[in-house]
């Protein structure tokens, strides 16, 4: 393990307590809602916030006893915090200079890194003259210039527009792949996390609620937050063979489970009927329409009832069914479309 | 990022603000008009040509500038300590910094004599160890001016430091910068406008300093007689001459400040 | 003309029969005049004396600018002249004179005995600036002695000059005898013969537009009286020739 | 949003900053120590009990506070004009605001007499029209103190206004707020800490004001003799008493400032 | 038309020149990359930035001659700009007070609006105590409180995390539907625009490059920016019957077009082959793999060659094909999967 940490930070109204292990070359994404403690965790790793307890070990050596400027850590801040009075080159050269390199040496390192992120042409530009994407790449180069063993990125893509974001995301992906230290990335965009990370850690309210490979987390969300993030309906119930009891409903699933279990299904997998259908779908319940909104090319219907659910239908279906909020309706999901797993 | 609002569309400034503002301006500027009216214009050129005037003016500008430099060297670190280091009793220290502001300048001068004079706590030792005496020297003028003017610098710079975005300093720390490097290469460039504004206040105050200077450094043409001292003495015998000297001092400082201030105040 | 406006300054004659005499006096008269003021109040029940002590030149400026003063006691004829020139007072009378002494710090570290010792470049001498009365007097005395000395400072007033000696910054200074007496114990005074040729006169006058009218005259009379002279000589002033 | 950095981890403050900071602090505070050593402690209680001391202290505090209020009423709108209205010649106006700073206070007093004295440009008219005379009254003390102290307020508040986020004002404008409403309900609450800091500087300067006061308002016990004037007179007769008075003034102001400043400086 | 405007703003290095018409009750989204001029356009409408030319008419009356505080406009700023010293209630009551309502009247209006956005319980809270989503709703209530005829929203959802965003978006949708004036919404999130707007206006570099119904814009992007936004490959070429020539390639399409034309297709519609396939797809070209990244559950392959393209394939396919960057590969798209339309 490159990084092995237990981070405990106590604040008046908030406690962070998470354990974190990152292998060399691995990229771990911390995902979570606003105020979950993601930034606090990064700051604790960087030495900008004191630990109330726990430890941080990097390559086997304790890190939490050292001040921020003596940790082999590179950090990319949410809004980059490029020094406004220095050129892009001098921003990148700042770290090597602080770590003892001569001026010309530091500049050489900086120029090489700017070259690598494709910004050699902007070396002399001041940060205010850089676009968001360019600034992000300079910030990355600046963090990498100190040859860190641990790279920390706080919402590196949040300040970019959707267009730039796509490009910068793949660029970042490439740079992270080249980096052989541990990387911890904070984001609240699931797509960023999926694309960039080898492993997701979902933090809610200062504690880890789920972790695993991106695809695994996406397929088997364990909290409402994660389910919404990946666009699934999720319920927690009690398994009893091929049925999972959720409140007054019992979902039929193909998996055989006993004890506490989750059942998840996609909003597109739900079918709606004006009258009680008489067909194969095993999971059928009556619901009330809570709201209707456009969702991409489709329409998303919010259902209330024994369980709350999202349903995606086509505009044509909407017109056929003539749905309005407040209306009672039947909803069904085929057992084969559900996915159940132990809670 | 935020676009500069366009003032043409912003509506006329309201009278309830404009009237007191103009009153305030008049209050500050009218006395100057009084001086201008009373100034002995016909004899003005002759009076200005007197070598002592130029001498006093030069001395004033030189000492005020050196005093400002001294205040910068000592005051900026002090402001930094107040803003960035968790001192016990910081509130008391900050209140003590304002002491020279409240102390009547003449008493300030006496206090300086008690400490830095020939028989003073430290002055004694300065003289025996280094043969340095401050009273009656140009260096003494600088000391007196710096004493009186430093609080303005410290308070302005502390305000600027508190208003500055600390996260740049954190970013520098993660890049391996020690606190000194952070201060030198990040903090200072970022608060430069605030430091400049403080230096302007400090310089203006030093330029007008009278009581502490005459008490601590005395009054001798060429070495310690600055413009305010010349003005005061002229007032004893020839009020017109005093007015001329004051106007010269004001004109020079207004020209210098008008030439410099906007750049400092408007840079973010 | 006598009472200057209802919303007038605090020094104007108050209502209800109580009278006020406003005296503008040189700061060097603070001690003696305060004492005389008490005596005046004792002798004129119901009348209060209000003092405005300051630099004579400032006081003269204030009077010229319309200050509601009844009596002006200046530390030099020149400042009194500013007021008489503006026709605000007539016939000032010299009520006291002050002679110079050499003041040295207690123990006289520089071993100054007479005026010419001040010419020694190793002796740090503080003088008053020539623009203020004690400086003018000092210049006269030095001229009479035919001495040319280079002081380290030309002070704004005699107290500042004395402070320099008291604190040992200067080895000697030419100040008034009254000041040496007031600072007894901290400085020593040395008489010198040329002092006689540089006596400084203190003129006093009731002002022409004095709001207090006759009371102003009475105060001037008190200062000039035997009682007044007594207080002044005790403080080291020389009585003015009658 | 940005978390307060934890200072325990930030490394020790570097000597290259701590040493000048401590030197600066010593420079400002040691003269006070000189006064403390010289103070006539045995006779202190008796001297403090004198009614004139209390009277002068009360007058000083009252006038400095009223002067600060006057400066707020006139100076805040002036600062607002400088910061928010596109004036032609703004640089000159701003430089003129510093005039009372550079003018030796005694000359400032003379200038005030020339304008507001009974025979002055405006004073004449004030007297004939309203029967108001300012010189030699407590109101005159307030005027003199306000004149000398206002630049500090104006410059501080202008700085705070420039640093404030203009977008809140824009938001208020889109909600239908006139410029006056914007100023009163948005701008002023937002820059309150800056205004407070400026008021503190202003108050401290007014408290220590001597030259302009004695020249413009005279030196009458009970009406115009503030502490600095009392100190001046004491210096004429009993230097020890002057030290005691100065220490009283300092103690009171340090206690007041230490009690208040931190809240203002630290609130964002 | 409620709003009829031609906005011209000249800046040293930038010129905005757009025409804008919005019907009563209509929601128009201004979509565009960073620096396109979206915020500038809103500010010009609100009167915060002066027009260099053009006009603004609201309900037939000229607006551009009035100062900002006299325009019947409500604006929600990107970071809300709630007055930090006022409670939520007083923030909302601010506008009515300014427009002459009595204190109690203004508070009643404000309380009713807070009720409507579901924040009655937080009326006394100061803005710093509100979460992002709550702050956004207070800002909306504040803007609506002045009963504007024109509602302007600058990136109303940008500051929210993905979780909160979903909820707030549908809430906002509901509130906008209730509003009978004209609404102009700025965003750079295509999903926000699709969900919230009746019509999209895409601005690039100060000029309108495309406008239309969301589905129409999504199906027929006219610039690279829009295409990337909606996740399509887009090329501009010359139609010649059922073929569109794009550089050296000629795409077969089902539409018949002559003259300048666009052809668009989804990344998922592209098939990749290690060797030249011999099948039905009519559009076939040889390309070089430029990069590979994870994309949700799939993998996105960037192709270089006669045309640049994105291709989405499953991880299984990736493993089968054993693709690596730099490799040459064949790509094909069925004519039925392309969509062509006049340029
Ligand atoms: N105050 C200003 N002075 C000069 N130029 C400005 C100002 N504000 C913005 N600009 C420029 O005007 C152009 C349009 O900016 P605007 O803020 O309207 O873009 P935007 O579309 O809102 O972008 P974003 O998505 O980043 O918010 C940009 O080139 C920007 O640099
Ligand atoms: N300086 C601070 N002092 C006290 N509490 C703080 C401070 N900074 C953050 N908090 C609190 O700590 C908790 C975690 O905040 P943190 O910034 O780590 O969240 P986050 O997950 O990064 O959220 P976001 O997505 O909004 O950036 C929150 O409850 C926040 O209010
Ligand atoms: Mg965060
Ligand atoms: Mg914008």
Residue D52 included in any domain:
no
Alpha-carbon dihedral angle through residues A312, A313, A319, A320, given to the nearest 10 degrees:
-130
Instruction: Of A187-191, A199-203, D152-156, E214-218, give the lowest mean pLDDT range.
Output: A187-191
Atom number, ligand 1, closest to the C-alpha of residue B1? 8
Which ligand is closest in space to the CA of residue A129? 1
E38 lines ligand 1 (CB under 6 A): yes
- pLDDT score at A161: 67
Subunit contact D97:B170, Cβ cutoff 8 A: no
How many angstroms is it from C142 CA to the middle of ligand 1?
78
Any idea what DSSP says for residue E71?
S
Q: Are C72 and C24 in contact (CB under 8 A)?
A: yes
In angstroms, how far apart are the furthest CA atoms of chain C? 63
Subunit contact E98:D181, Cβ cutoff 8 A: yes
Residue nearest to atom 17 of ligand 1 (CA): E39
Q: Are E62 and E224 in contact (CB under 8 A)?
A: no
How many angstroms is it from A7 CA to the middle of ligand 2?
15
A341 pLDDT above the threshold of 90:
no
Domains and CATH numbers, chain A: 3-227 (3.40.50.300), 236-342 (2.40.50.100)
Which ligand is closest in space to the CA of residue A154? 3
Residue nearest to atom 14 of ligand 1 (CA): E37
- pLDDT score at B92: 85
- pLDDT score at B2: 37
Which ligand is closest in space to the CA of residue E49? 1
Distance CA A189, CA A193 (A): 6
E108 lines ligand 1 (CB under 6 A): no
- pLDDT score at D266: 46
Q: Which residues contact E83 (CB under 8 A, 6 or more apart)?
A: D168, D171, D172, D185, D186, D189, D190, E90, E91, E94, E127
Residue B39 included in any domain:
no
- pLDDT score at C3: 36
Coil vs helix vs strand at A221: coil
Q: Are E228 and E222 in contact (CB under 8 A)?
A: no
> What tokens appear for D176 in the block?
């239908």
User: How does pLDDT run across E260-307, given as a tens digit for each residue?
Assistant: 888 888 888 888 888 888 776 678 899 998 877 766 556 788 888 888
Q: Which chain C residue's Cα is nearest to B229? A: C156
Confidence of residue D4 (pLDDT cuts 50, 70, 90): very low
Helices of type H across chain A: 38-46, 88-98, 103-116, 132-144, 162-178, 190-196, 214-219, 224-230, 315-321
Confidence of residue E162 (pLDDT cuts 50, 70, 90): low
User: How does pLDDT run across B130-159, given as a tens digit for each residue?
Assistant: 888 888 899 999 999 999 999 989 988 888
Q: Are A223 and A247 in contact (CB under 8 A)?
A: no
The shortest CB-CB distance from D8 to any of A40, A43, A50 is to A50
B266 pLDDT above the threshold of 50:
no
Neighbours of chain D (3+ CB pairs under 8 A): A, B, C, E
| Cα distances (angstroms) measured from residue C113 to each of B104, C149, C185 | 36, 15, 18
Distance of CA D164 to the CA centre of its chain: 23
Which positions in chain D touch E83 (Cβ < 8 Å)? 168, 171-172, 185-186, 189-190
Q: Are E141 and E123 in contact (CB under 8 A)?
A: no
| Cα distances (angstroms) measured from residue A310 to each of A234, A290, A301, A304 | 10, 10, 6, 9
Confidence of residue A296 (pLDDT cuts 50, 70, 90): low
Q: Are E248 and E333 in contact (CB under 8 A)?
A: no
A225 pLDDT above the threshold of 90:
no
* Mean pLDDT, rounded, of chain A: 86
Query: Mean pLDDT, to the nearest integer, of E224-252?
Result: 85
The shortest CB-CB distance from C27 to any of D120, D123, D236 is to D236
How many angstroms is it from E85 CA to the middle of ligand 3?
24
The shortest CB-CB distance from B11 to any of E48, E50, E69 is to E69
User: How does pLDDT run across D186-218, given as a tens digit for each residue?
Assistant: 999 988 877 887 888 899 889 989 889 998 998
Which ligand is closest in space to the CA of residue A165? 1
Looking at mean pLDDT, say which of B62-71, B208-217, C231-240, D173-182 comes out highest. Answer: B62-71
> What tokens appear for C54 in the block?
């300051």
Subunit contact D175:E84, Cβ cutoff 8 A: no
How many angstroms is it from A34 CA to the middle of ligand 3?
7
Subunit contact E68:B9, Cβ cutoff 8 A: yes
Percent of chain A with pLDDT over 70: 96
Query: Mean pLDDT, to the nearest integer, of B125-131?
Result: 88
Q: Are C187 and C168 in contact (CB under 8 A)?
A: no
A14 lines ligand 2 (CB under 6 A): yes
Query: Mean pLDDT, to the nearest integer, of B173-180?
Result: 91
- pLDDT score at B37: 86
Subunit contact D9:A69, Cβ cutoff 8 A: no
| Cα distances (angstroms) measured from residue C190 to each of B238, C104, C111 | 33, 8, 11
Task: Check CB contact of D1 with chain A, cutoff 8 Å.
Answer: no
Residue nearest to atom 5 of ligand 2 (CA): A11
How many separate domains does chain D show? 1
How many angstroms is it from E39 CA to the middle of ligand 4?
4
Which positions in chain B touch A184 (Cβ < 8 Å)? none
Instruction: Of A269-278, C120-129, D172-181, give the lowest mean pLDDT range.
Output: A269-278
Residue D205 included in any domain:
yes
Q: Count the alpha carbons within 13 Å of C137 in the hemisphere toward its beta carbon.
A: 30
Query: Is residue A100 classed exposed, middle or buried when 0-12, 13-18 and 19+ CB atoms within 10 A define those classes?
Result: exposed
A162 pLDDT above the threshold of 80:
no
How many angstroms is it from A5 CA to the middle of ligand 2?
19
* Mean pLDDT, rounded, of chain D: 85
Task: Check CB contact of B14 with chain E, cutoff 8 Å.
Answer: no
Any idea what DSSP says for residue E129?
G
- In chain C, % helix, strand, coil (3-state, to 5) comes to 40, 25, 35
Residue D130 included in any domain:
yes
The shortest CB-CB distance from C65 to any of D119, D131, D132 is to D119
Distance CA D266, CA D4 (A): 12
> What tokens appear for E311 in the block?
């291709």
Q: Are C211 and C123 in contact (CB under 8 A)?
A: no
Q: Are E296 and E341 in contact (CB under 8 A)?
A: no
Distance to chain E for D214, nearest Cα, Å: 43
Question: What's the per-residue H, E or C state across chain B?
Answer: CCCCCCHHHCCCCCHHHHHHHHHHHHHHHHHHHHHHHHCCHHHHHHHHHCHHHHHHHHHHHHHHHHHHHHHHHHHHHHHHHHHHCCCCCHHHHHHHHCHHHHCCHHHHHHHHHHHHCCCCCCHHHHHHHHCCCCCCCHHHHHHHHHHHHHHHHHHHHHHHHHHCCHHHHHHHHHCCCCHHHHHHHHHHHHHHHHHHHHHHHHHHHHHHCCHHHHHHHCCCCCCCCCHHHHHHHHHHHCHHHHHHHHHHHHHHHHHHHHHHHHHHHHCC
* Ligand 1 pocket test, candidate residues E8, E13, E34, E40, most atoms within 8 A of CB: E40
Distance to chain C for B127, nearest Cα, Å: 12
Subunit contact A81:B167, Cβ cutoff 8 A: yes
Q: Which chain B residue's Cα is nearest to E45? A: B9
E24 lines ligand 1 (CB under 6 A): no
For residue E29, give the nearest of E265, E236, E229 by alpha carbon.
Answer: E229
Q: How many of the other CB atoms lie within 10 Å of CB of B230? A: 28
Subunit contact B113:C163, Cβ cutoff 8 A: yes
Which positions in chain D touch B123 (Cβ < 8 Å)? none
Any idea what DSSP says for residue C184?
B
Distance CA B24, CA D76 (A): 9
D3 lines ligand 2 (CB under 6 A): yes
- Strands in chain D per DSSP E: none
Q: Which chain E residue's Cα is nearest to D191? A: E85
The answer to whether C and A touch (≥3 CB pairs < 8 Å) is no
Residue nearest to atom 10 of ligand 2 (CA): D3
Subunit contact A218:E296, Cβ cutoff 8 A: yes
The shortest CB-CB distance from C7 to any of D114, D132, D219 is to D132
* Mean pLDDT, rounded, of chain C: 85
Residue D171 included in any domain:
yes
Confidence of residue C13 (pLDDT cuts 50, 70, 90): very low
How many angstroms is it from A188 CA to the middle of ligand 3?
9
Task: Check CB contact of D178 with chain E, cutoff 8 Å.
Answer: yes
Subunit contact B9:E50, Cβ cutoff 8 A: yes
A39 lines ligand 2 (CB under 6 A): yes
Subunit contact B176:A99, Cβ cutoff 8 A: yes
Look up the ipTM and state it.
0.78
Distance of CA B268 to the CA centre of its chain: 22
Residue B64 included in any domain:
yes
Residue D159 included in any domain:
yes
- pLDDT score at E301: 86
Residue nearest to atom 25 of ligand 1 (CA): E34
Domain that holds residue D159: 57-225
User: How does pLDDT run across E84-95, given as a tens digit for each residue?
Assistant: 999 999 999 999
The shortest CB-CB distance from E77 to any of D167, D176, D178 is to D167
Q: Count the alpha carbons within 13 Å of E324 in the hemisphere toward its beta carbon.
A: 0
For residues A299 and B196, the model is more confident at: B196
**What's the N-to-C CA distance of chain A in angstroms?**
28
E337 pLDDT above the threshold of 70:
yes
Residue D250 included in any domain:
no
Strand order in the sheet with A73-76: A73-76, A150-154, A182-187, A27-31, A199-204, A207-212
- pLDDT score at A217: 85
> What CATH number does residue B146 fall under?
1.10.3720.10
């Amino acid at each position: 393990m490159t990084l092995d940490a237990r981070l405990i930070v106590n604040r008046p109204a908030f406690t962070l307590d998470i354990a974190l292990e990152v292998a060399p070359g691995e990229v771990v994404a911390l995902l979570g809602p606003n105020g979950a403690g993601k930034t606090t965790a990064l700051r604790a790793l960087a030495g900008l916030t004191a630990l109330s307890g726990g430890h941080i070990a990097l390559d086997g050596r304790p890190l939490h006893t050292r001040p921020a400027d003596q940790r082999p850590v590179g950090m990319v801040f949410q809004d980059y915090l490029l020094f406004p009075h220095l050129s892009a080159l001098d921003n990148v050269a700042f770290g090597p200079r602080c770590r003892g390199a001569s001026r010309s040496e530091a500049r050489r390192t900086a120029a090489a890194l700017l070259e690598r992120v494709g910004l050699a042409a902007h070396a002399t530009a001041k940060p205010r003259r850089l676009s968001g994407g360019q600034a992000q790449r300079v910030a990355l180069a600046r963090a990498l210039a100190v040859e860190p063993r641990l790279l920390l990125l706080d919402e590196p893509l949040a300040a970019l527009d959707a267009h730039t974001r796509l490009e910068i995301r793949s660029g970042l992906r490439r740079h992270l792949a080249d980096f052989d230290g541990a990387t911890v990335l904070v984001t609240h965009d699931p797509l960023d996390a999926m694309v960039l990370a080898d492993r997701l850690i979902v933090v809610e309210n200062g504690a880890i609620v789920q972790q695993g490979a991106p695809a695994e987390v996406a397929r088997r969300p364990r909290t409402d937050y994660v389910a919404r993030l990946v666009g699934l309906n999720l319920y927690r119930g009690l398994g009893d063979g091929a049925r999972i009891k959720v409140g007054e409903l019992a979902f039929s699933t193909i998996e055989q489970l006993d004890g506490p279990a989750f059942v998840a299904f996609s909003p597109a997998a739900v079918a709606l009927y004006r009258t009680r259908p008489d067909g194969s779908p095993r999971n059928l319940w009556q619901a009330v329409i809570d709201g209707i909104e456009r969702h991409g090319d489709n329409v998303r219907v919010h259902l209330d009832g024994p369980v709350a659910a999202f349903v995606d239908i086509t505009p044509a279906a909407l017109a056929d069914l003539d749905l309005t909020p407040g209306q009672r309706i039947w909803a069904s999901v085929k057992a084969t479309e559900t996915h159940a797993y132990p809670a | 990022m935020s676009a500069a609002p366009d003032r043409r569309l912003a509506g006329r400034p309201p009278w309830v603000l404009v009237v007191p503002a103009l009153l305030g301006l008049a209050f500050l500027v009218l006395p100057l008009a009084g001086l201008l009216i009373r100034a002995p214009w016909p004899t003005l050129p002759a009076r200005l040509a007197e070598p002592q005037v130029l001498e006093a003016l030069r001395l004033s500008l030189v000492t005020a500038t050196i005093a400002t430099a001294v205040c910068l060297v000592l005051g900026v670190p002090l402001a930094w300590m107040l803003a960035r280091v968790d001192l016990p009793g910081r509130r008391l220290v900050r209140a003590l910094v304002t002491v020279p502001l409240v102390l009547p300048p003449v008493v300030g001068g006496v206090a300086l004599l008690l400490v830095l004079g020939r028989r003073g706590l430290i002055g004694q030792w300065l003289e025996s160890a280094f043969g340095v005496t401050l009273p009656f020297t140009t260096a003494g003028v600088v000391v007196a001016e710096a004493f009186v003017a430093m609080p303005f610098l410290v308070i302005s710079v502390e305000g600027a430091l508190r208003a500055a975005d600390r996260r740049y300093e954190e970013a520098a720390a993660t890049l391996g910068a020690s606190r000194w490097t952070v201060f030198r290469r990040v903090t200072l460039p970022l608060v430069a406008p605030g430091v400049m504004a403080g230096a302007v206040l400090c310089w203006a105050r030093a330029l007008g300093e009278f009581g502490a200077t005459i008490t601590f450094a005395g009054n001798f043409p060429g070495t310690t007689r600055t413009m305010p001292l010349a003005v005061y003495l002229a007032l004893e015998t020839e009020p017109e001459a005093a007015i001329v000297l004051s106007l010269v001092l004001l004109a020079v400082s207004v020209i210098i400040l008008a030439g410099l201030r906007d750049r400092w105040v408007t840079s973010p | 003309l006598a009472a200057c406006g209802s919303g007038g300054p605090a020094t104007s004659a108050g209502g209800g029969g109580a009278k006020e005499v406003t005296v503008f006096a040189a700061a060097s008269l603070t001690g003696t005049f305060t004492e005389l003021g008490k005596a005046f109040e004792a002798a004129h029940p119901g009348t209060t004396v209000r003092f405005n002590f300051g630099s004579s030149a400032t006081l003269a400026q204030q009077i010229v600018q319309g200050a509601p003063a009844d009596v002006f006691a200046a530390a030099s004829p020149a400042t009194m002249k500013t007021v008489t020139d503006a026709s605000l007072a007539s016939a000032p009378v010299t009520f006291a004179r002050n002679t110079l002494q050499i003041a040295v710090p207690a123990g006289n570290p520089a071993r100054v005995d007479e005026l010419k010792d001040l010419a020694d470049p190793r002796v740090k001498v503080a003088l008053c600036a020539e623009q203020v009365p004690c400086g003018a007097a000092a210049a006269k005395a030095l001229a009479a002695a035919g001495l040319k000395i280079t002081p380290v400072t030309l002070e704004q007033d005699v107290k500042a000059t004395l402070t320099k000696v008291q604190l040992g910054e200067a080895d000697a200074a030419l100040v008034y005898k009254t000041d040496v007496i007031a600072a007894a114990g901290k400085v020593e005074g040395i008489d010198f013969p040329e002092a006689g040729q540089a006596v400084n006169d203190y003129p006093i006058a009731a002002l022409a537009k004095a709001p207090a009218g006759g009371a102003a005259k009475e105060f001037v009379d008190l200062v000039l009286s035997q009682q007044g002279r007594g207080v002044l000589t005790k403080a080291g002033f020389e009585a003015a020739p009658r």
